[in-house]
Amino acid sequence: MSKNAEIRSQITHLECSLTGEIANHDHPLRLSPSEKPFLARYDLEKASQTLTKKSLAGRESNMWRYREVMPVQDPANIVTLGEGFTPLRRAEHLGKHLGMSNLLIKDEGVNPTGSFKARGLSAAVSKAFELGQTKLTMPSAGNAAGAMSAYAAAAGMEAHVYMPQDAPMANQIECVAYGAKLNLIDGFITDAGRISGEDAEKYGRFDVSTLKEPYRAEGKKTMGYEIVEQLGFEVPDVVIYPTGGGTGIVGIWKALDEMENLGWIGSERPRMVCVQAEGCAPLVTAYDNGEEFAEPFENPATLAAGMRVPAAIGDFLVIRAVRESGGTALTVNDDQMVDSVRDMATFEGIFPAPEGGATLSALQKLLESGKVIKDERVVLLNTGSALKYLDVLGPALGL
Ligand SMILES: *Cc1c(COP(=O)(O)O)cnc(C)c1O
C-alpha cells in the first residue's frame, strides 16, 4: 500500500452533543432528534497512526492537511479554495504597546472569501457533495452566505441565500457574483431563516446553517489544530474568540480533546474567552447568570454582523467550553471595536473585521481586570477582513 493510500478519513459516526445519541454519517442529517447539534466522531487511535506530528511536514498548506480527522471520505469530493493554514502572527508592536511579550494574532482575514467562514463551508459543502446534495440554502446576514456561494460555485452546486434587506452590501454583491440566488427579505434574520427553511422543504434544498448541520464545526475546528501545530505542539494560555453562533469556539474546544487523544498534547488547555458585542450578548448574559442555556437576545444591534446572532443553537457548548477551560465571557461595544480595528491595522498591518477588533478590546479589559497577565501567551482570533465592512467602517473612521 502506498503511503498516500493510508491517509484517509477516520470518521465513524455522529453523536448528539447533548444526549450522546448516535447516528450514522452516511446520509445527510441536520439536528439530532433532541434538536441539538450533532458532532462528528472519529477513530482517533487509527488516525494517530498516520496523523503524526512528523507526517505534517510534507502535507498541503490548507486545512485538509488534517485529513484523518476531517469528515470527507473520498478525497475527490473535497471542495477547496485553499482555506486554512493561515498565519499565526507574532504581534510585536501591538504587544509592546500593551506591555505584552507573547501576543499572537491568528489572521483569518486572508482566507478565501475574506473570513474564516471559508473553513466551515468548505467542510460542509464538501460533505454535502459527497452525500449527493446538489442544492444548498442558508439564511445569513453576512460572511457565511458569501462563503457558501463560493464553495457551491466551485462544486457546481446551486446556492440559495436568504438575507435581511439591510445586510452589508459586500455580502450581497459577492453572493450574486458567485452565481447564488439572492433573496432579500423584508424582516430580521429569524424571518430569513424561516423562509429559507420553508423553501428548503418545498424545493429539496439542504440547509447548511451553522451547527444545524454537523460539518461546519469540523472545518472551524482546524483553527485549533493549526494554533497547536504552529506553536510547536504547545497550547497557548488564552484564546480570545469573537462569538456569534459559536461554531469556532466549539470547534477549537473539540480539536483540543481530539489532539489529546492523538497524543499531540496533554490535558492542558487554554482559557477560552468568549467575546460578544454589548448590543447582542446572549451567551455572556447566560454565563454571567450561571445558566447552561441562553435566552434569545432582544433587539440585537452591532456593526459586527458576524456577532449579531440573538440565539445560538450551540449555546450550551460554548458556555461549557468557557467554564471547563477556566476562561470567561465578556462584552465590548462598537466604539471599542472600531478603535481596535485601527490599532491592529496601525501596529501590525492587519486590517481586521470589527469582530477581530473585538478580541483586542476584550484583551485590554482583561489586562485591566487582571484576568490576563502580561507575559501570558495570548492568541487573538481575527476572524475576517475589514474589506467586507467598508460601508460601516468608513463613517466610523471619520471618512
Ligand atoms: C461568523 C463570524 C463570527 C462568529 O463566528 P461563530 O463561529 O459563528 O461564533 C465572527 N467573526 C466573523 C468575521 C464572522 O463572519
How far, in Å, is the centroid of ligand 1 from the Cα of 45? 32
Probe target for ligand 1 pocket from 86, 222, 240, 243, with the most ligand atoms within 8 Å of CB: 243
Q: CA–CA separation, 356 vs 353, rounded Å?
A: 5
CB proximity list for 320: less than 8 A, separation 6 or greater: 292
Left if phi > 0, otherwise alpha if psi is -120 to 50, otherwise beta: which for 350?
beta
* Contact partners, residue 378, CB within 8 Å, separation at least 6: 100, 102, 103, 104, 236, 237, 238, 239, 240, 363, 372
Euclidean distance between CA atoms 146 and 131, whole angstroms: 22
Q: Over its length of 399 residues, how does the chain's per-residue pLDDT go in tens digits? A: 344 547 999 999 999 999 999 999 999 999 999 999 999 999 999 999 999 999 999 999 999 999 999 999 999 999 999 999 999 999 999 999 999 999 999 999 999 999 999 999 999 999 999 999 999 999 998 899 999 999 999 999 999 999 999 888 999 999 999 999 999 999 888 889 999 999 999 999 999 988 889 999 999 999 999 999 999 999 999 999 999 999 999 999 999 999 999 999 999 999 999 999 999 999 999 999 999 999 999 999 999 999 999 999 999 999 999 999 999 999 999 999 999 999 999 999 999 999 999 999 999 999 999 999 999 999 999 999 999 999 999 999 999
H or E element in which residue 228 lies: helix 216-230
Residue with CA nearest ligand 1 atom 5: 244
Q: Structural domains in the chain?
A: 88-115+215-396 (3.40.50.1100)
Residue with CA closest to ligand 1 atom 10: 306
| Single-letter amino acid code for the residue at 219 | G
Using DSSP bridges, classify how beta strands 206-207 and 135-139 pair: parallel, antiparallel or unpaired: parallel
Is the pTM higher than 0.85? Answer: yes
Ligand 1 atom closest to Cα of residue 247: 7
Whether 326 contacts 212, CB under 8 Å: no
List residues near ligand 1 (CB under 6 A): 115, 117, 142-143, 210, 242-248, 306-307, 353, 355, 383-384
Q: Whose CA is nearest to atom 1 of ligand 1?
A: 306
